């Protein structure tokens, strides 16, 4: 697991982006748990930033039907991207979505040594099963920065 200090970048970046849009939003939807200090902080940032209506939700079906105008959407650091997409789809913005980027997140958390060894073993086994012929691919553990965790989980599931 990353150190607690390694997670601060996500919280800091989301708060900075929210500060940039809160005063221009008619409402802000914060996705995340009520017992998450990150989510509570996002709610406070939106209110202090001048947004007249701030809602915290756990799921898209918790959205009220009376939201209108410019609706900002943000999420706690642990909220899955799929949930954010569900909320945006449910809002069905008539004039589209504008993504506000204040900071580009490019943090890198390398897999633990055990997983890197597993990746190497799987690569070796695939080479062996292919008749000992190199597939031309380099060490999969060395390429972990270019592969998303979601892609790895999808591959393992199949």
Residue 61 sits in the same domain as residue 25: yes
CATH number at residue 45: 3.40.1010.20
Specify whether 75 is located in the same domain as 25. Answer: yes
Mean pLDDT over all residues of the chain? 79
Q: What is the pLDDT of residues 2-58, one digit of tens each?
A: 444 544 667 788 888 899 999 999 999 999 998 988 899 999 999 999 999 999 999
Residues 73 and 16 in one domain: yes
87 and 122 fall within a common domain:
no
Same domain flag for 24 and 73: yes
More confident residue, 35 or 153: 35
Question: Is residue 62 assigned to a domain?
Answer: yes
User: Domain total for the chain?
Assistant: 2
Instruction: Give the pLDDT confidence score for residue 90 in this predicted structure.
Output: 93
Q: State the average pLDDT over residues 72-80.
A: 89
Burial class, 102, CB count within 10 angstroms (exposed 0-12 / middle 13-18 / buried 19+): middle
Asked if 69 and 27 touch (Cβ cutoff 8 Å), the reply is: yes
Give the separation between CA 25 and CA 71, rounded to whole angstroms: 6
Segment 89-126, tens digit of pLDDT = 999 887 778 777 777 766 666 677 777 777 777 777 77
């Amino acid at each position: 697991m990353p150190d607690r200090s390694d997670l601060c970048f996500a919280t800091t970046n989301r708060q900075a982006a929210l500060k940039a849009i809160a005063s221009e939003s008619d409402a802000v939807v914060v996705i995340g748990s009520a017992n998450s200090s990150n989510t509570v902080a996002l709610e406070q940032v939106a209110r202090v930033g001048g947004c007249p209506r701030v809602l915290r939700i756990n799921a898209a079906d918790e959205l009220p039907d009376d939201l209108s105008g410019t609706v900002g959407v943000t999420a706690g650091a642990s909220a899955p991207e799929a949930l954010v997409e569900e909320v945006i789809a449910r809002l069905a913005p008539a004039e589209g979505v504008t993504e506000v980027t204040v900071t580009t997140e490019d943090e890198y958390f390398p897999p633990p040594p055990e997983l890197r060894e597993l990746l190497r073993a799987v690569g070796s086994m695939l080479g062996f099963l292919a008749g000992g012929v190199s597939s031309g691919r380099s060490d999969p553990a060395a390429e972990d920065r270019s592969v998303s965790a979601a892609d790895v989980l999808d591959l393992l599931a199949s």
